[in-house]
Amino acid sequence: MLTGLRRVVKAGFVGFWRNAYVSLASIFVLTVALFVIGATMFLDQLLATSLNTLQSKVDINVYFVPDAPEERIDAIRNAVAALPDVSLVTYTTREEALQQYRDRRQGDEISLQALAELDENPLGANIAIQAQETSQYENIARFLDEQRALEEPQAPVIDVINYAQNKDSIDTLTGIINATERASWIVMGILLIASILITFNTIRLAIYTSREEIAIMRLVGASNMFIRGPFMLQGIMYGFIAGLLALLLFYPLLIWLGPRTETFFEINLFTYYVQNFGDIFGILIGAGVVLGLVSSTLAVARYLRT
Amino acid sequence: MIYFDNVSKLYADGRAAALQEVTFQVAPKEFVSIVGHSGAGKTTLLKMIIAEDQPSHGKVFYESLDIHRIPRTRLPHYRRKIGTVFQDFKLLPHKTAYENVAFAMEANGRSDQEIAENVPQALALVDLDDKAWNFPHELSGGEKQRVAIARAIVNQPDIIIADEPTGNLDPIATYEVVQILRKINDLGTTVIMTTHNKGVIDEIERRVITMDDGRIVRDDATGKYVL
């Protein structure tokens, strides 16, 4: 058993070396396939990050009237925070609102003087609400409208809800995000399937050149596993080497691309590559090994059927 | 040892019959030559013995074993009892002469020590010890066929099946190959060989089965080539 395994391993390595051209061609194609898989991963990351950034910039603001009682504000805040769709509620007190106003108008003497003329803070408190998904703003806005409807007309608490103003841009953004995600899934799916098929066919052709040899081995009385073993090992070797090559290819490419993606998408892909090297290594090498192994096993199986 | 019981082989279209009601047997240590025109069914007959082809009717036995009832997983074990030699040599192109012969032993699960002892012996028997490390493309036709014979005998099979072993060889190489096959037969191995070559048959002076159109038309104990 152990002798058999040793012979299979040896035959795998010798075959790999003596069929150098076929091995090189298979490795080359597998490298391209893995490069596509890797690029798909990076693109997906890029897209996810930029969509996240965009999404975090969208929110609904509720402005309270300046003399709204503290406990009413708290009640609304807690009710909103308890909604399952809400991911974050940021509360800004009247004083903080004033301070932010001052900070924003730094150097704008007229506005600041106008503010100083008033003997009391004209600004109300406000809350900024972020949803998990952009499509959920509709529900949150409806909930806030219901809250407002419950108020006594003589003593309103909520002054303005800016969802109506933001609605169009939120809707557009939701549409764009959904469309982009769907399109990217389709493109990635096609690329993945194409690269898997190309790899499979290349290895099938490589083994097609060995079909005579396989027939001879069978005639000499070699068991199926003894024939299949070296080819399976070669498939694994192709995948492993191709995975390493793809990793190597990404290195200079991402050094060059990293700063550019940082300015545009707010993520440095090179930093991402370095930080997640373990995962990327595992995925590329793993995908290569599995692709090579499965392709060669299937390809040999054809010639082992009687 | 080998027994054909009323074997016929029809191909799918139903028109051509490669074998028709063939019945004969081969005793241990016999040297049987099968002659006939191309398409007479010689190769089909040999393929039946190594379970490369299935009969449409009838049975083929190896001793008491029905060859075509051997489960697929056991076929390699059965084939190891038989050494095969072909007109086109069928050597593994990416292996040296030594490795080609050693492969048959490795596939058989022999130990490294046995391989190291028996492969040089087999190559010496076919007079190729000096070309052990050449690849097939570096060998002449006669040398390739001798490697194939060395591979066929290295596991000490009960039978050697040779399909037109001299078909691609010049007269001198033909003579050498026939001498080697006779030597193997003298050492106690059954040999079944097909051939076109009249000179080969006349030289061997052993049993000759003549086939025509899928049937056995003659079976002579010490035959001549009659067609």
- Is residue A170 assigned to a domain? no
CA distances from B18 to B5, B126, B159 (A): 15, 34, 23
Structure tokens at B118: 């028996």
The least confident of A168-172, A231-235, A268-272, B146-150 is A168-172
The CATH number of the domain holding residue A118 is 3.30.70.3040
Judge if A182 and A290 occupy the same domain. yes
Residues of B with CB under 8 A from a CB of A: 50, 52, 72-73, 75-80, 82, 84, 90-94, 103-104, 106-109, 111-112, 151, 155
Contact B112 A15 (CB under 8 A): no
Examine the pLDDT at B116 and tell me if it is beyond 60. yes
- Is residue A40 assigned to a domain? yes
**How many residues in chain A?**
306
Residue A79: domain span: 58-163
Paired strand residues for B65:
B62
Task: Enter the ipTM.
Answer: 0.81
Judge if A244 and A230 occupy the same domain. yes
Judge if A201 and A293 occupy the same domain. yes
Q: Report, as an integer, the average pLDDT of B68-77.
A: 88
pTM for the whole structure: 0.73
Residues in A touching B80 (Cβ below 8 Å): 221
Judge if A196 and A289 occupy the same domain. yes
Structure tokens at A16: 């790999």
Judge if A98 and A131 occupy the same domain. yes
Q: Which of A109, A139, A163 is the last residue of a domain?
A: A163
Answer with the residue of higher pLDDT: B226 or A132: A132
Nearest chain B CA: its distance from A214 CA (Å): 9
Q: Is B149 exposed, middle or buried (0-12, 13-18, 19+ CB in 10 A)?
A: buried
Judge if A84 and A71 occupy the same domain. yes
Indicate if the alpha-carbon torsion angle A233, A237, A243, A246 is positive or negative: negative
Contact B76 A216 (CB under 8 A): no
Judge if A41 and A75 occupy the same domain. no
Judge if A86 and A147 occupy the same domain. yes
Count of pairs with CB atoms under 8 A, one residue in A, one in B: 54
Answer with the residue of higher pLDDT: B157 or A131: B157
Averaged pLDDT of chain B: 89
Q: Which of A75-79, B7-11, B99-103, B195-199 has the highest mean pLDDT?
A: B99-103
Residues of B151-175 as b/e, b for ≥16 C-beta within 10 angstroms? bbbbbebbbbbbbbbbbbbeeebbb
Judge if A42 and A63 occupy the same domain. no
Residue A131 host element (H or E): strand A126-131
Judge if A134 and A20 occupy the same domain. no
Q: Which of A163, A189, A208 is the last residue of a domain?
A: A163
What is the separation of C-alpha A214 from the centre of its chain, rounded to a whole number of angstroms?
44
pLDDT digits (tens, 9 = 90+) for B210-225: 998 889 998 888 867 7
Contact A4 B50 (CB under 8 A): no
- Position B227 scores a pLDDT of 65
Residue with tokens 């099938």: A204
Residues in B touching A3 (Cβ below 8 Å): 109, 111-112
What is the separation of C-alpha A62 from the centre of its chain, rounded to a whole number of angstroms?
32
Judge if A187 and A279 occupy the same domain. yes
Judge if A39 and A91 occupy the same domain. no
Domain ranges of chain B: 29-56+68-220
Contact B103 A222 (CB under 8 A): yes
Looking at residue A227, its amino acid is I
Domain B29-56+68-220 has CATH 3.20.20.70: no
C-alpha Rg value of chain B to the nearest Å? 17
Number of structural domains, chain A? Answer: 2
